Homo-oligomer: A and B are copies of this chain.
Amino acid sequence: MSESSVADGAGMASRHAVLHILNKPPGHARTHLCLATLAATDALVLIEDAVLALASGLDTSAAVYALGPDLAARGLAADNGQTGVIVIDYEELVALAAGADKTVSW
């Protein structure tokens, strides 16, 4: 991805009070806890097994990002059933984490 999209990522992050980073697969109790604490103004980043939520569906009004390499590994694309998901790379994840007020690793 281009440097400008990294800057965009950081710009978006600065609007989010909390950056929630989730690595648990759908159905895991931690997923429910994460969603229960997710404010509409927060952002959720799906990494590792959590990207499978794009296939099973995810009910939130918060901004949702998904880590591209984890999507590719699992044969998924951003449009796999879920709309409005922004695919990011590690550089953009760093920018989001650096720009957020607070991060929670679920």
Contacts and interface: CB of A to CB of B under 8 A. Distances in A.
Contacts of A27: 29
A29 B28 CA distance: 7
A52 to B, nearest CB: 12
Interface in A42-100: none
Contacts of A28: 29
Contacts of A29: 27-28
Nearest to A27: B29
Interface in A1-29: 27-29
A41 B8 CA distance: 60
2 contacts: A27-B29, A28-B29
